[in-house]
Chains A and B, each alone.
Chain A
Amino acid sequence: MFGLGLLARAARQHQLQCTVSRLFSSCRPLAAATDAVQQAQPREQLQYDLCIVGAGPAGLSAAIRFKQLCKEDNRDLSVCLIEKGSEVGAHILSGNVFEPRALDELFPKWSEQQGEGQAFADLPLRQKATADRFYMLTQGSSIRLPNPPQMKNRGKNYIISLSELTRWLAKHAEEQGVDVFPGFAGKEVLYDWHNAVVGVATGDMGIAKDGCRKPSYTPGVDLMARLTLFGEGARGSLSQSLMQHYGLREAAGASPQTYALGLKEVWEVPEEQHQPGLVLHTVGYPLDNSTYGGGWIYHMEGRRVSLGLVVGLDYANPSLSPYQEFQAFKRHPLVAATIVGGTCLQYGARSLNEGGLQSIPKLAFPGGALIGCSAGFLNTPKIKGTHTAMKSGIVAGEEAFRALGLADDAGKKGPITLRNYADRMEVSWVYQELERARNIRPGFSKWGLWGGMANAALSTYLLRGREPWTLKHRHADHEATKLARDCPPKDYPKPDGVTTFDIPTSLYRSGTNHNHDQPPHLVLADPGLPEVVNHPQYGGPEAKYCPAGVYEYAADEASGRPRLVINAQNCLHCKACSIKDPRQNITWTVPEGGGGPNYTIM
């Protein structure tokens, strides 16, 4: 790593040029042109053996497992973990009914050490699932259906807040010597002349909206590592760039990834409405037969209830608003009965992978690998991805340790390739699970709700996932959107302020905050496209699917025509716009570190 002359990558060259060209913009006098020389100075570099992007369950499991092995083998290898949220857990949102399978592998004796003063005393797994229920909802009623075998949680799994669990894992990781850095966003992947990943550059801080440097300007640093693991969650910005750079999807012959948007709230409800341990799932209302998705209500401990709606992003009607569908879900008598009289504590939204096995890209590349939802190990019929993410982190951590150890012993320097990580994942229980589940989700895209359920029953009960065919995902989510004129416009009622709310009220409950004086992080490849395509042809779908009200169409003062306004500071980092924009015109880039939602119990 020291010997390989790392220099300006193509992207960095471009950045330097931008820096220089920015100097000639109106904000600086020409006399300051000499600053260009100073600004071309190299950024500070920090060296690590292993760098992990994202303090989610995958990244933290990888870091912890790596350090466990270091301790066993008496090797001192350095690990750093960067996280764009202001603290660990701030950007974590998940149902979550937690299957402890991977946790058991990471900490084999955790359940025996939960007594006062013991190592796992404050591990936030406090509520076991006590009952499973599955309902088909219609406009006014609910029909109880038998529980699908994938939804059998009673007595085995825990209802948790994943934000809380990641905070616990991060504390443990720090105690083991991992350098955890919240508030730092991975802005750019760093490559060397041999096209291997050699680390990650963190973003500059203190740049104003117009691109000029504020007095508080602080350049980011280059985190150089012999191995970099990317655990950014679904549709991670660096993961997307890596998939493009190395052609990871094409290399694996993978289908395009298909996503859903999950909207969630945590409520505190009156005692009589609380049934701790109840795990309830729904299909049907408010979604129509051609829109995939379903709802959940999980009763946590302490009168808290987690509820939400997952909406498949391959929906066709551009006027559909997942946020409004979620409000409709809450209005349904079954759901309203649980939350009426309660207080909504937090709100949030995040995209999740639904592509399963068919959409997993090539996992490893020179100098790094994708872990967790960045690769896409979520088991869609179970709607669980935490246990598989953690397992991928554990395997990657083990292989990273092995590979670095071998390289050290052989005196090899430079970036490492994790050859065994992908192989081991393929024979692990993760792939076994995903193999069994692989034909369920695509059946819904092909045949709608009823056909999908029939296909799911066939695959689950009769063929048990051993059918010789594999249904592919036909297209990317944005390609499924029909033109506005071909679809009935959706009309949504006003919120009542008691159980349903408008977006600004909900947004306040997400704690989302960005320094507003920074360049907007949502980048349009063609800034004129919304007025020419999105609005006239699709009715401005971004104003409908964004769960944070980032995108709005306002009448332009001069021309009177609708113009797209981007309120970037509202962003919840859910990535729906990156997924669903009809022409893929929007690229989600990472804003200044420390911004975004501040989830604590999600």
Chain B
Amino acid sequence: MSMNPFCEIAVEEALRLRESKAVDEVVAVSLGPQQVQETLRTALAMGADRAIHVSTEQQLEPLAVAKLLAALARREQPLLCLLGKQAIDGDNNQTGQMLAGLLSWPQATFASKVELDKAASSAKVTREVDGGLETLSCQLPAVITTDLRLNEPRYATLPNIMKAKKKPIAKLTPQELGVDVTQQLVTLQVEEPAQRKGGVVLGSVAELVEKLHKEAKVI
């Protein structure tokens, strides 16, 4: 099971912040069944200090994830919550935003550059938006979600993978965190996009007009 690419970027950014002494400790968190431990081992192999596995067989929706992370944040009291902007299976792009809302923390999403000012307890984040780049400053603690151009994640080396096997992974359940993770959404239908039909070479403008009128029904 490989780590969501945006989450990999978040782990990398956290490690860089620790290396620049802006933060002291990096804790990796993943939620789900036993398999997510592989992802946590990858995070530990990249350099995270410790890992927390919120164990559940239940299919987790973004709101449930946000509630679980909020409960964890209240326990761990981090300076910063770094998340990938979205998971490439669901493409929801909601968890970071909801987490900030639940904690009442400031949020800076789609980060392409992060600078932490430990002394002033603030962060300056450059965000990628449709119009270009937007830089904002916010107080810590805050939630930041990462976008593609923030960094290039490091490779986990073999020696680090071996060391990671010995690092601790704490296990918690949603019940212990006091969160109800029952699904609130029901998928009604999933459809494949319509099959692309081949193009047709036409002989004249009259033919084109006829096809637009009769087949495509746009005129």
Contacts and interface: CB of A to CB of B under 8 A. Distances in A.
Partners in one complex: yes
Interface of A: 44, 46, 86-87, 179, 181, 184, 202, 205-206, 214-216, 218, 221, 223
B154 interface: yes
A215 B159 CA distance: 20
Contact of A221 (B2, B153, B154, B159): B159
A306 B158 CA distance: 36
Contacts of A215: 152
A46 B154 contact: no
B159 A214 contact: no
A216 B158 contact: no
A336 B158 CA distance: 47
Interface in B119-160: 152-155, 157-159
Q: What secondary structure prevails in chain A residues at the interface with B?
A: strand
Contacts, number: 27
B158 A181 contact: yes
Contacts of A179: 162
Nearest to A86: B2
Nearest to A206: B155
Contact of B155 (A44, A87, A216): A216
Given A216-B153, A216-B154, A218-B154, 19 more contacts: A44-B157, A44-B159, A46-B158, A46-B162, A86-B2, A87-B2, A181-B161, A184-B158, A202-B158, A205-B155, A206-B155, A214-B152, A215-B152, A216-B152, A216-B155, A218-B155, A221-B157, A221-B159, A223-B158
A206 B157 CA distance: 12
Contacts of B161: 181
A366 to B, nearest CB: 25
Does more than half of chain B's interface fall in helix, strand or loop, or is it mixed?
A: loop
B152, B153, B155, B157 — most chain A CB neighbours (10 Å): B155
Interface string B154-194: 11011101100000000000000000000000000000000
27 contacts: A44-B157, A44-B159, A46-B158, A46-B159, A46-B162, A86-B2, A87-B2, A179-B162, A181-B158, A181-B161, A184-B158, A202-B158, A205-B155, A206-B155, A214-B152, A215-B152, A216-B152, A216-B153, A216-B154, A216-B155, A218-B154, A218-B155, A218-B157, A221-B157, A221-B158, A221-B159, A223-B158
Q: For B157, B158, B162, which residue has the most chain A Cβ atoms within 10 angstroms? A: B158
A216 B46 CA distance: 12
Nearest to B161: A181
A64 to B, nearest CB: 19
A214 B153 CA distance: 11
A46 to B, nearest CB: 6
Contacts of A216: 152-155
B208 to A, nearest CB: 25
B83 to A, nearest CB: 21
A587 B162 CA distance: 32
Nearest to B154: A216
A214 B158 CA distance: 19
